[in-house]
A and B are shown apart, each in its own frame.
Chain A
Amino acid sequence: MPLDQAELVAAAKGGDREAFDELVRQTYADAYTLAYRLTRNEEDARDVVQEAYLRAYRGLGRFRADARFSTWMYRIVANCASTALSRRSRSRHDDLPDDAPVADDRPEADPEMMAEATILRDRVDEALAHLPARLRAVVVLRDVYDLPHEAIAAELGISEAAAKVRLHRARRRLREQLFPMRGEEAARAG
């Protein structure tokens, strides 16, 4: 069992740099994973993670002791990734609008055969890559990382209502991609 994160946070708050380094060591792969899931780009994810730890280090005084350090880091990573993505879409103009059709490159497969959990997990990851960044961010933060709507809205700079609408659209798009058969046809086939 590594040193308790709450103890490390307390030490880091007291100015112990080594304690903060240890917190980084324990959490950076996890933070990178989230950054990559949001940006879908290794280089961007690395930049986002570095920026996030800098902000965390500077803002450590504002971290509440009753919160989990990992959850706090997820919020900072989400915020940094959101900034990075909007910068990127401004410079490249390549972000798809919410309802733009995506290229259908699903392999031909029987959805009933694909229902097996691990296969579905890989396919959902692939389907996430096809979502527009703004929909992907909300569904990743809510359904993968379990952040509350209020936190997601705050870090992405949108209203809670907008966050809910995006979540709704993202879930529908994922279902359509993973299960190309409509419910009715699937019911008949099953």
Chain B
Amino acid sequence: MPAESNLTMTCEAVAELLPEVVDGAIPAPTAVTRHVETCLRCQAELVQYRKVLRALHQLRTEVLEPAPGLFTDILTSLEGAGERRAIRSLLRQRRAAYVGAIAGATAAAGAAGIIVLASRARHRKLRLAG
């Protein structure tokens, strides 16, 4: 393999970097560029990566046709969300009144509990006394 013997990078090391540098997003290290310029094997591999990338780009122009009914289904689920949203805001308005009512009820229940305990204590006391 003549290309490997007189250059600083091996084909394996270059091949490892090709998928990263193929799109030009990051500049290829000079050692890689120099190797590829003189190595047919790595040049061929780079061309293969470029073809893969081009084919992937082309996929973008293809739009699949969804099975019928998807558009209606999307609108229906949006409709449902809209209704839920309306219900939620209605609930929020009611919650203010509801929370007030709960606070009252809890206070009442607490008072009732105290009454029960007090009466039990009284009974016990009464029994002890009797």
From the candidates A58, A179, A182, name the one contacting B41 in the complex (CB within 8 A).
A182
Among A112-168, those with CB < 8 Å from B are: 115, 117, 120-121, 123-125, 139, 143-146, 164, 167-168
CA distance A45 to B62 in the complex (A): 16
Could you say which of A25, A117, A182 contacts B55, with CB atoms under 8 Å apart? A117
Give per-residue flags for B1-32: 1 if the beta carbon is below 8 A from chain A beta carbons, else 0.
00000000001000100011011000000000
How many Å lie between the Cα of A45 and that of B66 in the bound state? 9
Closest to A148 in B: B25
Residues of B within 8 A of A178 (CB): 48, 51-52, 55
Contacts of A17 in B (CB 8 A): 78, 82
Choice from B49, B57, B60, B66 contacting A171 with Cβ under 8 Å? B49
Question: In the complex where A121-B58, A182-B41 touch, is A171 in contact with B70 (Cβ < 8 A)?
Answer: no
Q: A49-B74, A186-B44, A187-B41 are in contact. Are A29 and B52 (CB under 8 A)?
A: no
A contact patch SS:
helix
* CB of B67, distance to nearest CB on chain A (Å): 7
B64 at the interface (CB under 8 A from A): yes
CA A182 to CA B47, docked complex, whole Å:
12
A33–B44 touching, CB < 8 Å: no
B37 in contact (CB, < 8 A): no
State the CA gap A167–B18 with chains docked (Å).
12
Contacts of B78 in A (CB 8 A): 17, 20-21, 24, 53-54, 57
Contact B44 A187 (CB under 8 A): yes
Given A24-B71, A187-B44, A171:B81 Cβ within 8 A: no
- Is B52 a contact of A33 with CB atoms below 8 Å? no
Q: Contacts A29-B64, A54-B81, A175-B52: A184 and B41 contacting too (C-beta < 8 A)?
A: yes
B77 touching A171, Cβ below 8 Å:
no
Which residues in A have their C-beta under 8 angstroms from that of B62?
33, 121
Cβ–Cβ contact A183 & B44, under 8 A: yes
**Is B41 in contact with A175, judged by CB distance below 8 angstroms?**
no
What are 9 A-B contacts defined by CB distance under 8 Å? A28-B70, A28-B74, A33-B64, A49-B66, A144-B56, A174-B52, A182-B41, A184-B40, A184-B41
